[in-house]
Amino acid sequence: MTENWPDAEFVAVIGDIRGSRELSDRSEAQQEFKQVVTTLNEDIPDSVIASQFTVTTGDEFQVLLTDAAAAVDAVVAASDQFHPARLRFGIGRGELATQLNPAQAIGMDGPCFHRAREAIDAAEAAGAWVRVAGWGSPIDGHVNAMFDLVQCVREDWTERQAQFARALKAEGTQNGVADRYDVAKSTVSESLSAGHVQAVRAAEASLGELLAASRSNGGSR
């Protein structure tokens, strides 16, 4: 089923596996990637999903959202789940030029998708985690620079730090994380502190809020 949303702005997200062709276990990584996409459809609120998270190739997905903060949430959730393998993302804001297909994010076109593609191409060229396009200058540049800083910290996380970071999001407290893994709370606290996890989470949330609050200023088409 397709729908028309005249003059509405959307946020398109394209994500893929960085260096997928060089992975020794590419087939396994693609299966895990598909599971991550399935989980995103379950975890991101239906109210902000205009068109479902859809695997378009073995190592790429697309989604169309109505909220930029949800786009950042999706990027973060996917990256958390896929650690230590690395993903990259392009987030584009703009209108949809074709009919909306809520069931799957394929067969649609428009500035939102053009900008998302432009953004992920820029991320690939820069070796970056995330690039955004469509909010105009200086928002695009500021957000991209901040994502680069967050990337520098995230990519230094050990497997234990990433594990505790995921668990903290689910449990809500360090005591909950300690109970889940049957370790001392001090172990959790020291690991999260060494990984600057609280600062990373605050920055990720702030970037989502900034994009959601910023009105489009033409951007690049």
Q: Is residue 36 part of a domain?
A: yes
pTM listed for this prediction:
0.92
What is the domain extent for residue 89? 9-134
Residue 27 neighbours by CB under 8 Å, 6+ apart: none
Q: Which CATH number goes with the domain that contains 69?
A: 3.30.70.1230
Q: Is residue 145 part of a domain?
A: no
Q: Is residue 35 part of a domain?
A: yes
Mean per-residue pLDDT, 113-130? 98
Q: Is residue 163 part of a domain?
A: no
Q: Is residue 37 part of a domain?
A: yes
The model's confidence at residue 4, banded by pLDDT at 50, 70 and 90, is: low
How many domains are there within the chain? 1
User: Which tokens sit at 59?
Assistant: 């190592």
Give the residue ranges of DSSP H helices in the chain. 26-43, 68-82, 111-126, 139-154, 159-171, 174-181, 185-194, 197-213
* Euclidean distance between CA atoms 165 and 93, whole angstroms: 29
Q: What is the pLDDT of residue 28?
A: 84
Higher pLDDT, 217 or 114: 114
Q: Do 92 and 12 touch, CB atoms closer than 8 A?
A: yes
